[in-house]
Amino acid sequence: MLRALGAAFALLTVFPVPLALESRDFRRALAFFPLVGYALGALLALLALLPLPPGLQAALQVALLLGLTGFLHLDGLLDAADALLGYRSREERLRILKDPHLGPFAFGVGGLYLLLLWQALALAPEPLFLLLFPGFARFAPLPFLHLYPLLGPGMAAMVRGGRGG
């Protein structure tokens, strides 16, 4: 169980995990994704206790959240925006998903996401919201990991224990 928790932290954060992890640990890590989110939320809630103006506090919370997750979710959002927005063939979309360059859709969606996240954090009514929302956010994709076929090797294949195709 501790190894699966370590695998969840290794996948979702930049925190170093001093364990030798195996593939089965990553397959079991899914159950701990929300717990990783709650740990991140606890750090956001602690930051909210500082006597700072709401806008500055929200900006620091955005920076903390992005930094501690290694920009993982933002990177995935930007890749998906470039691949899915606009009229393209399936093959072109798959190629764009693997392209490391930032396209116009990624730029626009990324900017909107950061503005909305900043505003949501600035308006967060109390630290309990900050504690809970990252955990809920890491729970949300779990049901979908087994509903759709994998596109290829990657984090989803690692936690699902399958190969993409």
In a domain, 80, yes or no: yes
In a domain, 165, yes or no: no
Q: Which of 17-21, 26-30, 133-137, 159-163 has the lowest mean pLDDT?
A: 159-163
Contact of 121 with 52, CB cutoff 8 Å: no
* Residue percentage of the chain with pLDDT more than 70: 96
The alpha carbon of 1 is separated from its chain's Cα centroid by a whole number of angstroms, namely 22
Structure tokens given for 79: 């890749």
Quote the CA–CA distance of 58 and 126 in Å, as a whole number: 12
In a domain, 111, yes or no: yes
In a domain, 72, yes or no: yes
In a domain, 74, yes or no: yes
- How many Cβ atoms are within 10 Å of 17's Cβ, its own excluded? 16
Model confidence over 103-142: pLDDT tens digits? 899 999 999 999 999 999 999 878 899 999 999 999 888 8
Question: Can you give the residue range of the structural domain that contains 120?
Answer: 2-160
Give how many domains the chain has, as a whole number. 1
Closest Cα to residue 69, out of 138, 157, 2?
Answer: 138
In a domain, 23, yes or no: yes
E strand or H helix at 75, and its extent? helix 72-84
Structure tokens given for 110: 């990324």
Contact of 43 with 61, CB cutoff 8 Å: no
